[in-house]
Copies of this chain bind each other. A is one copy, B any other.
Amino acid sequence: MSQPAQASQMGETTVRTPFPAPEQQTAKKLAQTIERATKIFADKNIRFTKLRQQVFEEIAATYSSIGAYEILARMAEKGTRVAPISIYRAIDALLEAGVIHRLESKNAFFACRRTDHSKGRRPLFLSCEKCGAVGEVDGQHIFDLIGEAATGAKFAPRVKFVEVQGLCPRCAATSE
């Protein structure tokens, strides 16, 4: 018990970081994530096929980002052998649905765990250089400012990326 996880037992008000402790990464949480994805696919009228579910489960089952070929390898271990292109096609559908995000700086993907994107609030990504964990925090005000900076330069923005690399709370603590 060297790493107390206070928050989980006393409600969510004390959770201040998008980096859940390992004890919080439960099968139940994973099931909820998958169910949420299922609903999003249904709402958007995109088919959540078996292949897409399998790919999504591999991505969601890690709190790190994961590369396409790593997904491929893990699925192969479980008996599902597909070609790289199939993984990428599934990834495209998952990105389109918004249930995963792409980390441009690592050519890797991670499951979205926020529920406020649909409300028009865009997140920025925090990627731990040590353990690979990825967290999202709301960055809507920052994206607004980026838009202003762009239009101020007579540039018409369409897609924006904000990524931060550094140390997650646990790794920052252990490396001191």
Contact = CB atoms under 8 A, between A and B. Distances in A.
A42 interface: no
A143 to B, nearest CB: 10
Interface size class of A (residues with CB under 8 A): 35 or more
Given A126-B155, A146-B139, A155-B168, A161 B16 contact: no
A139 B124 CA distance: 16
B156 A166 contact: yes
Nearest to A141: B145
A82 interface: no
Interface in A145-176: 145-146, 149-150, 152-169, 172
Contact of A152 (B104, B137, B158, B161): B137
A18 interface: yes
Most buried by B among A141, A142, A145, A155: A155
Contacts of A149: 124, 137-139, 142
Interface in A63-118: 104-105
A10 B153 CA distance: 19
B17 A161 contact: no
A129 interface: yes
Interface of A: 16-19, 104-105, 124, 126, 128-129, 135, 137-139, 141-142, 145-146, 149-150, 152-169, 172
